[in-house]
Structure 1
Amino acid sequence: MKNPLNLYTGNFKPVFWSVVILLMLFASYRINIVDDAYISFRYARNLVEGHGLVFNPGERVEGYSNFLWVMFMAAGLKLGIPPEQFSIVLAFPIFLACLLLSFLIGRRVLRSRTRGLLLMALVGTNWTIVSFAFSGMETALQLLEFLAAAYIVLDGLERGWNRRRSLALSIILNIALLTRPDGVVLAVIALAAWHKTKRDFKLRDLFVIGIPFLLLFVPCYIWKVGYYHALLPNSFHAKVQGLNGLPYGLLLIYLYSITYLLFPHLVFLIIQGRDIFRKNAGVQFMGTLILVWALYVIAVGGDFMEFRFLVPVMPLLLVVILYSISTHALNRRLKYGLIICLFLGTVNDSLAFGRVIEGMGIQPVFELTALPKGPVTNCIGIGKKLDEFFGGSDVTIATAAAGAIPYYSKLKTVDMLGINDAMVPLIGEKLSPMPGHHKIAPLSYLVERRVNLIIAPKNFSIRVELLKDWIRHVTWKDLYHFYLDVNRAIDGMPMDEVTMLLIPVNDQLVTIAWYLTPCEEVERVIRENNLYSLRLTRPGYRTGDLRAGE
């Protein structure tokens, strides 16, 4: 019987490169920078401008967890290319390399260039992979590192380890560790596979594998510890909740399985697992890496972004699934059905997640990409308007959307979720079970930091045509949408009155900022631009409190 995975047997090259071009065109359609990417951009800009690798000048907090990516963005700035452009420029060759490596891995493991092409098509059309590849974040770079390391390990398992392969593996693992701290998972599993299969182990082998660590990762890590006085990034303390985060990590794995229609494949792998992994050392390595990575994702409590943490192992999981189908699914219809199910999974994710399938706090891609430039939130527009009004001043803002707004405003910013603030993870008040969102800065801390304006684009950006109605109905209770405890006394004094400042973002949108700490610069902008302010008092809004700047 003809194997249904042998999809093409004629002239292969034209088909191969046609598929590559189509996949790259599809990827270009998904270019959308997410708000968190602008955090790295701000660190890179501050570094290039001489302020150091910091979020706010003078505050050494490691709020990023992607050191190498930040360095790339800084290099782009040195070349005169803004990070929001340079990140996309880099994304194209990185994603192309991911596609080609997916093909090479598939061809090696599945013993067929046609099956390798099938794997590449699955990777290149995967909604999550493509969305985050062009999101401005380091996700595609980490995926490339996982694929490169996997290919080298597979090559070493098949042809043996020489010094060139050992050195190449070590360099890739160091790059992975410099990209993200969780690259340690890849390093441990890959080095374990290297050691287990290395014949005639000698001291010079340890020298070859160890030198890149001594020259690359170790000096960088020592510098970071000395610079930030912390062993782990501040983002780790802000996001990881210990045992309390385990249910959320399990939820992420569960939602990924049902959204991508993977349950039939997982059941098939469980039934055939022992036989599958026993026969192929490469599949055994990939299966181990996938399992340990999944346990890591669960242990850190998952992520609030749609399956982003699973991207590095998604292609490897697809390899294992295709291997199980090609070697153990004897029924032709079953093979076709399982393969079609893989393609339907990405369609289901793009259409259903966050709409039909409730994310339960895990934000779908369309929400993540809407925050920076959506018609309602428009964080980019808010940041630019704040820069226009207050640029170059000592005005301090606070926001939970600590990406595009701080980046474009260039103002000193208190990150209310604590990713870029060392105190919030320690003193923050409970907010939600979501990673990176489970604590928020207390109002007293914002007062202590002399924050002038609190910006909340999701809940306090109003379309112009709806503004009058909003003003008529707004009450003291609406302050709770800042997620701050306005009932708690500050320095023994209750807060009975607040001022809301109406900042026009453009002709269609107004953002409402909480004017917390008065300052002359804000007052000057109010007067010169005739901005409206709104005073709210307990227990509600009083008629006549809407005022225009004089």
Structure 2
Amino acid sequence: MTEPVAALWIRVGQQLTALPATGWALAVGVLATITASLWWKPTHLSSRWSSARWFVGGVVVCLAVAHAWSLRWIADDAFISFRYARNLVEGHGLVFNPGERVEGYTNFLWTVLLAGAYAIGIPFGLSAIAFGLLSVVAVLWLTTRLSQLLSPYHHRPLIPVAALLLASNYVFATFGTSGMETLFATALVLLSLERAIQKSYFQAGTAGVCAMMAHPDHAIFFFALAVAIGLGRPSRTTIVRFALPFVLFFLPYFLVRWRYYDSLLPNTFYAKSADESYFTQGQVYVLISAVSAGIIGWLPLALTGLHTQRSRLFGRFLFIALPPYTLYLLKIGGDFMLGRLLVPWLPLFAISADFAARYLFAKQRRLCATIGLTLAATSALPLRILHPAEKFFHIADERTFYPVETIHPLRIDSPYSTWADQLISTFGEGSHGPLTAIGSIGIVAFQTRYPMLDVFGLTDIEIARQPIVQRGRPGHEKLASPSLLLDRGVLLTDRNVFPPEYASWTEVYPGFIPLHSLAYRTDLVTAIRKTTNSSFTDVPSRIERYEPPADDPYRVACDLWFFETYYFAHQSPQARRQFIHRLLKNGKLSPNTAAFFELSDHDEPRGWSRSLTIDFAQVDKRSWLRSGTAFDAFPTDGPILGQTRVSGHSGPLVNSFTSAQGDGALGMLQSPSFRLDGEVITLRVGGGKDATRLRAVLVVDGDEVMTATGCDSEILGRRVWDIAKFRGKSARLVVEDRSADGWGHILLDEFALWRSGS
């Protein structure tokens, strides 16, 4: 915590010293306006005074809307909701990919609202920004309304203090056009509170339920308000009226969505690991966001107002709601978007500060009020703690990543928009496009309409439920493994799936932005070839020119695995046979090994039969010798905590990775002896590539005669050993892990001994 605190205050100091005079003038102007409004009290109230207040309030609202408009942007995450809404209107259901019921959103009411607008012909860019700006107006009106309801004093200042504090606040204005539900849900929380203070409890409960349906975290505010009402000794009728909307609206909604998605909680709950604690990052998030939002300056007045309101419903609500909500933010690690989860705080703190200022002026403690207002006005200083497009301790000012270029047609000034354009120009638009897996899926998925896999798991059940290997940026800690992407049939991705030495083989450029293909398919290549400014690796030509390195048999084994997985598995059998026959002709393979390599991984060559198969699903563990701490789960019949998904095996396998030590586990595993009744051994090997420390060894009469190692991949690949000259001898299989480095583990499965009919 020390490092981020120090870095934060250094940033604040740098911003203050570099702040232009106009920045200071803005804060001074806000302070002077508020202070003058509170100092000046008319001798009598009149209709003109009331009209003037309405006029000034309108000016403040216009300034707030203009502030939000000047920062206009739409988050990549908002496009996820847009895609859900569009699929709903088009008859696919409330899904991200048609046919896949995954709740990859947490803003049901907002998404349905956008869907309704789209259904009547309003484009998403227009509706999202319009609803966002209307939410700005609603929050300001409700903030002013609550400030007036709370004040026991007849004097209402010309300037709505709380509204002006919000209008000049950068974080508040930022989420006015984000395309997200943030301010919409905040407005519903305020409406619920306002209705409760006005004793319209059914309406209060309805607004609170709507807030929960717009953002599930706001259940904290709903139940806090329920407790606050309960502490006021309400009648039974009051309790029933407030609780009735929960029974009438929320419970049916919850049960229907549970049945529809077959999940008690949204998929995002698991993707963001909300069930785990991440207090270290939560503290950083709350501090950086609070400083950026100016809440620190509001605190003296806000706490004073809270203290004076402690016996009233508003004060009870804040006392009950803020501690659990703050604890919740700390526990989950906050968010990656600067200030987003603190937005509900802003109007509540502003109202409390507004009340405190009026209270102090009424009590003739104007100096204290002026000092408090001076501190509060610092929130208007245009400090930008986070630099544009920067990730500062896992937090980013997302507005700077996704500014709006045009609203209609909707265009975001982002590489992802260009990316989507290039994909569409290459493969066309629609669900027939290639299955694509990327990290920021919103814009690309919305524009292309392709089937899409979110590598961080927001819209994927399996990825979302993976355990976290290492804490990092909230919401971006779970990552689709190469094995999963291959098994799902993904064709394009923004990350390299194969070991680094093969990155140049898989790169494709459908335009200027690089992607990686996971399979060299003719239709994919044909589409790319037809596109201007596109490029790809001519894999057939490279394979035709391929010469196995004579001094590195382990590299050759990995090359053959890669060629099979990436290229030959998607070509005609003739292509593989021609390649293998060339290697055989050049003496790079023996006739026995060529007989297996000329077929796909799981085909059996004619004239060959198995004389021995080691089935790790039924192996007698007592007959195997194990030493060290590795292989403690031998045979491994499921995922090991901390290890990414393993593929390329059938059933239980040998795995030296352990949940306790990970790659640090060392050890050896030795099979019972067996007779080499055949000429060829096939096996599948994965894990790290280190032929001296991570290896499967065939030991014959005490001599190591064959060795295999992995390829720095959790995808097991076939190895073929020609052991004809050892036929009839006794042998053992030894699997060793003597590496504690990264990729310091070995995987093995499908060990078989083959004999030829001839």
By the TM > 0.5 criterion, same fold?
yes
Report the counterpart of residue 68 of structure 1 in structure 2.
Answer: 109
Asked whether the 8 Å contact 1:277–1:283 carries over to 2, the reply is yes
The change in CA–CA distance for 1:243 and 1:324 in structure 2 (over 3 A counts) is farther
Aligned-partner Cα distance in 2 for 1:432–1:348: 32
The alignment's C-alpha RMSD in Å is 3.1
Residue pairs, 1:313-392, within 5 angstroms:
313-327=345-359, 332-349=366-383, 351-354=384-387, 359-370=392-403, 377-390=414-427, 391-392=429-430
The residue matched to 2:440 in structure 1 has which SS? coil
Q: Which consecutive unaligned segments of at least 5 residues does structure 1 have?
A: 157-164, 456-481, 489-493, 505-509, 539-550
Aligned-partner Cα distance in 2 for 1:305–1:274: 28
Query: Following TM superposition, by how much is the alpha carbon of 1:277 offset from its aligned partner in structure 2, in angstroms?
Result: 4.7
Asked whether the 8 Å contact 1:185–1:292 carries over to 2, the reply is yes
Aligned-partner Cα distance in 2 for 1:383–1:195: 53
Report the counterpart of residue 457 of structure 2 in structure 1.
Answer: 418
The change in CA–CA distance for 1:360 and 1:517 in structure 2 (over 3 A counts) is same
Query: Following TM superposition, by how much is the alpha carbon of 1:518 offset from its aligned partner in structure 2, in angstroms?
Result: 2.7
Report the counterpart of residue 102 of structure 1 in structure 2.
Answer: 143
Q: TM-score with structure 1 length normalisation?
A: 0.80
Aligned-partner Cα distance in 2 for 1:221–1:384: 38
Report the counterpart of residue 140 of structure 1 in structure 2.
Answer: 183
Query: Following TM superposition, by how much is the alpha carbon of 1:384 offset from its aligned partner in structure 2, in angstroms?
Result: 3.1
The change in CA–CA distance for 1:355 and 1:340 in structure 2 (over 3 A counts) is farther
Aligned-partner Cα distance in 2 for 1:239–1:19: 37
The change in CA–CA distance for 1:312 and 1:496 in structure 2 (over 3 A counts) is closer
The C-alpha deviation readout for 1:98-130, integer Å capped at 9, x for no partner, is 111111111222445328701111112221122
Residue pairs, 1:5-16, within 5 angstroms:
6=38, 9=42, 10=49, 11-16=52-57
Aligned-partner Cα distance in 2 for 1:48–1:57: 12
Asked whether the 8 Å contact 2:114–2:127 carries over to 1, the reply is yes
Aligned-partner Cα distance in 1 for 2:299–2:324: 16
2:230 pairs with 1:195: yes
Paired amino acid for 2:130: V
Aligned-partner Cα distance in 2 for 1:238–1:402: 14
Structure with the higher fraction of residues in helix conformation: 1
Residue in structure 1 matching 2:192, options 149, 157, 163: 149
Asked whether the 8 Å contact 1:104–1:116 carries over to 2, the reply is no
2:341 pairs with 1:286: no
Query: Following TM superposition, by how much is the alpha carbon of 1:269 offset from its aligned partner in structure 2, in angstroms?
Result: 6.3
Report the counterpart of residue 303 of structure 1 in structure 2.
Answer: 335
2:160 pairs with 1:117: yes
Aligned-partner Cα distance in 1 for 2:379–2:507: 46
Asked whether the 8 Å contact 2:305–2:355 carries over to 1, the reply is no
The residue matched to 2:91 in structure 1 has which SS? coil
The C-alpha deviation readout for 1:208-259, integer Å capped at 9, x for no partner, is 3343223211111111110111111101111135444222112111112333
The residue matched to 1:414 in structure 2 has which SS? strand
Aligned-partner Cα distance in 1 for 2:191–2:426: 47
Paired amino acid for 1:533: F
Paired amino acid for 2:514: I
Q: Which consecutive unaligned segments of at least 5 residues does structure 2 have?
A: 1-33, 43-48, 406-410, 543-554, 556-758
Residue in structure 2 matching 1:26, options 58, 62, 67: 67
Query: Following TM superposition, by how much is the alpha carbon of 1:70 offset from its aligned partner in structure 2, in angstroms?
Result: 0.9
2:508 pairs with 1:501: yes
The C-alpha deviation readout for 1:260-306, integer Å capped at 9, x for no partner, is 44445546767x68953545442232243233321222222211001
The C-alpha deviation readout for 1:478-525, integer Å capped at 9, x for no partner, is xxxx3x67549xxxxx96763211122xxxxx2111112233332221
Aligned-partner Cα distance in 2 for 1:168–1:421: 37
Asked whether the 8 Å contact 1:245–1:299 carries over to 2, the reply is yes
The C-alpha deviation readout for 1:131-161, integer Å capped at 9, x for no partner, is 11211111111111111112123333xxxxx
Asked whether the 8 Å contact 2:169–2:294 carries over to 1, the reply is no
Asked whether the 8 Å contact 1:105–1:116 carries over to 2, the reply is no
Paired amino acid for 1:307: G
The residue matched to 1:389 in structure 2 has which SS? helix
Query: Following TM superposition, by how much is the alpha carbon of 1:338 offset from its aligned partner in structure 2, in angstroms?
Result: 2.7
Report the counterpart of residue 585 of structure 2 in structure 1.
Answer: none
Query: Following TM superposition, by how much is the alpha carbon of 1:445 offset from its aligned partner in structure 2, in angstroms?
Result: 0.8
The change in CA–CA distance for 1:290 and 1:449 in structure 2 (over 3 A counts) is same
Aligned-partner Cα distance in 1 for 2:347–2:287: 18
2:447 pairs with 1:405: no
Asked whether the 8 Å contact 1:5–1:326 carries over to 2, the reply is no
Asked whether the 8 Å contact 1:306–1:363 carries over to 2, the reply is yes
Report the counterpart of residue 219 of structure 1 in structure 2.
Answer: 252
Asked whether the 8 Å contact 1:428–1:442 carries over to 2, the reply is no
Aligned-partner Cα distance in 1 for 2:415–2:469: 27
Asked whether the 8 Å contact 2:426–2:528 carries over to 1, the reply is no
The change in CA–CA distance for 1:371 and 1:32 in structure 2 (over 3 A counts) is closer
The change in CA–CA distance for 1:191 and 1:90 in structure 2 (over 3 A counts) is same
Asked whether the 8 Å contact 1:238–1:436 carries over to 2, the reply is yes
Aligned-partner Cα distance in 2 for 1:527–1:4: 69
Aligned-partner Cα distance in 2 for 1:137–1:431: 28
Aligned-partner Cα distance in 1 for 2:467–2:423: 26
Asked whether the 8 Å contact 1:248–1:298 carries over to 2, the reply is yes
The change in CA–CA distance for 1:26 and 1:268 in structure 2 (over 3 A counts) is closer
Report the counterpart of residue 175 of structure 1 in structure 2.
Answer: 210
Residue in structure 2 matching 1:532, options 505, 525, 535: 535
Paired amino acid for 2:416: C
Aligned-partner Cα distance in 1 for 2:317–2:243: 21
The change in CA–CA distance for 1:353 and 1:321 in structure 2 (over 3 A counts) is farther
Aligned-partner Cα distance in 2 for 1:57–1:411: 10
Aligned-partner Cα distance in 1 for 2:101–2:257: 10
Report the counterpart of residue 36 of structure 1 in structure 2.
Answer: 77
The change in CA–CA distance for 1:527 and 1:431 in structure 2 (over 3 A counts) is farther
Aligned-partner Cα distance in 2 for 1:396–1:428: 25
The change in CA–CA distance for 1:39 and 1:275 in structure 2 (over 3 A counts) is closer
The change in CA–CA distance for 1:512 and 1:207 in structure 2 (over 3 A counts) is same
Asked whether the 8 Å contact 2:162–2:353 carries over to 1, the reply is no
Aligned-partner Cα distance in 2 for 1:154–1:286: 13
The change in CA–CA distance for 1:340 and 1:517 in structure 2 (over 3 A counts) is farther
Q: Which segment is superposed worse, 73-82 or 240-249?
A: 240-249
Report the counterpart of residue 471 of structure 1 in structure 2.
Answer: none
Asked whether the 8 Å contact 1:500–1:535 carries over to 2, the reply is no
**What is the number of residues matched between the two proteins?**
488
Report the counterpart of residue 263 of structure 2 in structure 1.
Answer: 230
The change in CA–CA distance for 1:274 and 1:205 in structure 2 (over 3 A counts) is closer
Asked whether the 8 Å contact 2:310–2:319 carries over to 1, the reply is no
Aligned-partner Cα distance in 2 for 1:527–1:243: 47
The change in CA–CA distance for 1:420 and 1:331 in structure 2 (over 3 A counts) is same
The residue matched to 1:423 in structure 2 has which SS? helix
Paired amino acid for 1:385: Q
Aligned-partner Cα distance in 2 for 1:384–1:168: 46
The residue matched to 1:188 in structure 2 has which SS? helix
